[in-house]
Amino acid sequence: MRYWLMKSEPEVFSIDDLKRKKVEPWSGVRNYTARNNLRAMKKGDRVLFYHSRIVPPRIVGEMEVVREAYPDRTSPGDDRWSQVDVKFLRKFPRQVTIEDVKMIRELSGMQLLKFSRLSVMPVTANEYKTILELVGA
């Protein structure tokens, strides 16, 4: 199983929206690196849900890939993009802010800090485990 992190602006789509909908296509990714990451996802992979463009930006919960990459047709006539379906798993009892990520040794190598504009990225098993421990999940 692999681990990932995906960003969304909560004003556009939040963890509570996903909780309500239970399963949702993760569409609208228009960056090749992010798309390639979507395409590498397998059913059962775990994904951290990150709220961006809020203060402070933070990891708020966890979801699971339930359908592997298939075409994203939200831009008509543009065949290049992919989406996956994700299922709500849980909202974390504690949230992990970007400041936490910077401060905690085990997390300071996360791609989140290195590639700030990437919206879909891999997370190592150790980083994922560390985050679960932090949130008490």
- Nearest approach, Cβ of 28 to DNA (angstroms)? 7
Nearest 10 degrees: Cα torsion 92, 52, 69, 19: 40
Task: Give the footprint of DNA on residues 87-116 (CB under 7 A).
Answer: 98-99, 112, 115-116
- Nearest approach, Cβ of 96 to DNA (angstroms)? 12
Q: Interface with DNA includes 56 (CB under 7 A)?
A: yes
Question: What are the Cα distances from residue 88, in Å, to 16, 55, 71, 121?
Answer: 9, 23, 21, 18
Q: What angle do CA 18, 21, 22 make, to 5 degrees?
A: 75
Stretch of residues binding DNA (CB under 7 A), selected from 16-24, 31-39, 41-49, 126-134: 31-39
Cβ proximity to DNA: between 70 and 115 the closer is 115
Cβ proximity to DNA: between 66 and 118 the closer is 118
What would the two tokens of residue 7 be? 């960003």
- Nearest approach, Cβ of 85 to DNA (angstroms)? 20
Q: Interface with DNA includes 31 (CB under 7 A)?
A: yes
Contact 71, 29 (CB under 8 A): no
Identify the CA nearest to 49 among candidates 119, 137, 130. 119
Could you list the residues that contact DNA (CB under 7 A)?
7, 9, 30-33, 52-57, 98-99, 112, 115-119
